[in-house]
Amino acid sequence: MVSRRNFLIGGAALPFLSYINLADTVFAATPKDILVVAQQLDNMTSLDPHEGFEAVGGEMINNMYQTLVRANSDNPNEVTPVVAASWEADADNKVFTFKLADVKFASGAAVTADDVAFSLQRAIKMNKSPAFIINQFGFTPENVEARIVAKDEKTVTLTTETPTAISFLLFCLSANIGAIVEKKTVLENEVNGDLGNAWLQKNSAGSGSFKLQSWKASESIALTLNENGPYKGNLKRVIIRHVVDPSSQMLMLQKGDVDIARDLTSEQLKVLQSDENVVLVRKQIASLMLVSLNQNNANLAKPQVWEAVKWALDYEGMQKNIIPLTHAVHQSMEPAGFPGTVTDTPFKKDVEKAKALMAEADLADGFDITMDHYSAQPYPDLAQAIQANLGEIGIRVKLQSAENRQVLTKMRARQHEMALSAWGTDYFDPNSNAEVFCINKDNSDDAKKKPFAWRSSFKNDELTAKAEAARDEKDPAKRLELYEALQRDFMHNSPFAVMFQNTKTAACRKNVSGFQLGVLSNGNTYLETNKA
């Protein structure tokens, strides 16, 4: 007969038995042909390449689909052929002909010109968030079937509205919106004329290294090898586990339960720098941190104040003391790693110069202002540093912290005065950022286009003209020269103080090699990843 006391003690001890008995069964190292990644997956909305427009989804899509060309990580001024073997432009730079390479979909079917034309047409017809990247060449749902045409089994032509630099078109086609999907599979899963959108959100039909096995939102994504794809390493599966907490990611990495941890904090990376079992893969990504000055505010509308703010900030000090491993000082509107990016950093902390500029603006006594900033670190620490720096030249900053979407919503409503926020570039061409920072033709509240410059009520016709001229320049080399000049102009003549560029780090176990991070998330690839 079990006594009541023994029964209670036994009951209490029961859960602990699971620790003791199961140690041998559950803690096996990850298999060599399965790569396990710990990553925050909580803002992913779609795996349809013609719809997904956020970083994590973009990365997954890049590993399941191929584009005609992709950005070259070693030489950003060039592109690398993928599905396209070659390309040429006609004399007017309006008709672009692509010859296809021998590439196969995961189903085993060959990628044909019909698939390519269908894919690009689909992107235009669906007109989801990223469609603007290619519809800026004049493609519309009405004309796209006439302008993107499969000439034969292996030849596709694209006819743009106006003469276009081939480099501009190629860079845009390297974005995920240019991904090639298998027409037959997609149309077999079409519902109510959605061009397979609902199905492709949770399935794949591409020719990339892997295919989608499952996506369990807020839990995991499982990719399996595409036997017909370009991947030649030893992985059969890649499992990305949704691990929110960076501390949990770190423990799992150190224990070998995951092979790569993607979202570690600065402090954790510092520790891992000296860990011989871990290799850190680092890459500057196309995400800039900047201070925006809303031109609706009379004080902030003075060009001398723009310059004074830029000369008052201690870029080096903030970078070294607050964000040494996650950001680098960067002052151009184009991110490093992009074609034609200027890496000059002309602004250094110079309080006297900044004060003189304030006096020149008749603001020697300074003024009071509010600065909104994201509540997640490192923004609060940086905001405090900026507050201290600006305080030295008389600008008394009141900080207002909020969740990042809240700050963005406020900026979109032009309700901020100053804002410390981030901007992520959309596609691999200088026009991507030049357009949002420089081209604002209608500054009215109900403007049809509301680029980043509009949010801070910044309209400069000269910069707009220069950005358009650079965009439309047909000679690739001259085009980059124009962008370089534009960036220098923007640095001095805009109410945006670009301060830092984000650096992403993936912490990999030492038996993992070849994982690559790209300057854009669609450059993050397992294509050359191996596990020893």
Partner 1 sequence: MNRRFKSLAATLSSVLLTLFGLTVLTFLIGRVMPVDPVIAAVGDNAPEDVILRARAEMGLDQPIPVQFLHYLYQLAHGDFGMSVLTKNPVATDIVRFFPATFELATAALLLAALIGIPLGVWAAVRQGTFTDQAIRVVCLAGHSVPVFMLSLISLLIFYSWLDIAPGPGRQDIIYDGMIDTVTGILTIDTLIAGDFGAFWDALAHMAQPVIILAYFSMAYIARMTRAFMIDALKGEYVITARAKGLSLTTVIWGHAFPTVAVQLVTVMALTYAGLLEGAVVTETVFSWPGIGQYLTVSLMNADMNPVVGTTLLIGIIYVGLNLIADILYRVLDPRVQ
Instruction: Give the 3-state secondary structure of residue 12.
Output: helix
At position 191, the amino acid (one-letter code) is V
Please say which residue, 19 or 108, places its beta carbon nearer to partner 1.
19
Task: Compute the distance between CA of residue 507 and CA of residue 113 in angstroms, rounded to an integer.
Answer: 40
From residue 115, how far is each of 50, 68, 120, 233, 525 by CA, in Å?
14, 11, 9, 27, 23
Among 248, 299, 513, 530, binds partner 1 (CB under 8 A): 248
Q: Is 516 in the site for partner 1 (CB under 8 A)?
A: no
Instruction: Tell which positions 159-198 bind partner 1, by CB under 8 A.
Output: 198
Cβ atoms of residues 6 and 497 within 8 Å: no
Task: Compute the distance between CA of residue 484 and CA of residue 148 in angstroms, rounded to an integer.
Answer: 32
Q: Is 247 in the site for partner 1 (CB under 8 A)?
A: yes
Piece of the chain touching partner 1 by CB under 8 A; list 36-44, 165-173, 330-338, 489-497: 36-44
Asked whether the CA dihedral 208, 44, 420, 280 is positive or negative, the reply is negative
Task: Compute the distance between CA of residue 222 and CA of residue 121 in angstroms, rounded to an integer.
Answer: 29
Classify residue 242 by its DSSP letter: E
Piece of the chain touching partner 1 by CB under 8 A; list 95-103, 105-113, 237-245, 467-475: 237-245
What angle in degrees, to the nearest 10, is found between the helix axes of 430-438 and 476-492? 40
Please say which residue, 390 or 411, places its beta carbon nearer to partner 1.
411
Please say which residue, 178 or 394, places its beta carbon nearer to partner 1.
178
Q: Is 4 in the site for partner 1 (CB under 8 A)?
A: yes
Please say which residue, 256 or 476, places its beta carbon nearer to partner 1.
256
| Shortest separation between residue 389's beta carbon and partner 1, angstroms | 27
Compute how many other C-beta atoms are within 10 angstroms of the C-beta atom of residue 153.
10
| Shortest separation between residue 307's beta carbon and partner 1, angstroms | 28
Q: Is 303 in the site for partner 1 (CB under 8 A)?
A: no
What share of residues in the chain are helix, strand, coil (percent, to 5)? 35, 20, 40
Q: Is 524 in the site for partner 1 (CB under 8 A)?
A: no
Q: Is 364 in the site for partner 1 (CB under 8 A)?
A: no
Cis amide linkage into residue 163, ω under 30° from 0: no
Among 32, 94, 236, 242, binds partner 1 (CB under 8 A): 242
Of 96, 56, 104, 57, give the one whose Cα is nearest residue 79: 96
Among 114, 257, 472, 489, binds partner 1 (CB under 8 A): 257
| Shortest separation between residue 142's beta carbon and partner 1, angstroms | 15
| Shortest separation between residue 425's beta carbon and partner 1, angstroms | 9
Q: Is 439 in the site for partner 1 (CB under 8 A)?
A: no
Piece of the chain touching partner 1 by CB under 8 A; list 63-71, 85-93, 243-251, 303-311: 243-251
Instruction: Tell which positions 192-231 bind partner 1, by CB under 8 A.
Output: 198, 201-202, 213-214, 216-220, 222
| Shortest separation between residue 170's beta carbon and partner 1, angstroms | 21
In sequence order, what are the beta bridge partners of 240? 37, 221
Please say which residue, 338 or 347, places its beta carbon nearer to partner 1.
338
Instruction: Tell which positions 112-131 bind partner 1, by CB under 8 A.
Output: 127-129, 131
Q: Is 108 in the site for partner 1 (CB under 8 A)?
A: no
Tokens of 12: 């209490």
| Shortest separation between residue 150's beta carbon and partner 1, angstroms | 27
Q: What is the DSSP string of 175-231?
A: SGGG----HHHHHHT--TT-TTHHHHTSS----SSEEEEEEETTTEEEEEE-TTSS-
Classify residue 258 by its DSSP letter: -
Cβ atoms of residues 114 and 176 within 8 Å: no
Q: Is 399 in the site for partner 1 (CB under 8 A)?
A: no
Q: Is 241 in the site for partner 1 (CB under 8 A)?
A: yes
Half-sphere exposure of 429 (CA within 13 A, CB side): 26
Among 274, 365, 448, 532, binds partner 1 (CB under 8 A): 448
Instruction: Tell which positions 43-62 bind partner 1, by CB under 8 A.
Output: 43-46, 53-54
Among 15, 108, 276, 461, binds partner 1 (CB under 8 A): 15
Instruction: Tell which positions 449-468 bind partner 1, by CB under 8 A.
Output: 449-450
| Shortest separation between residue 102's beta carbon and partner 1, angstroms | 32
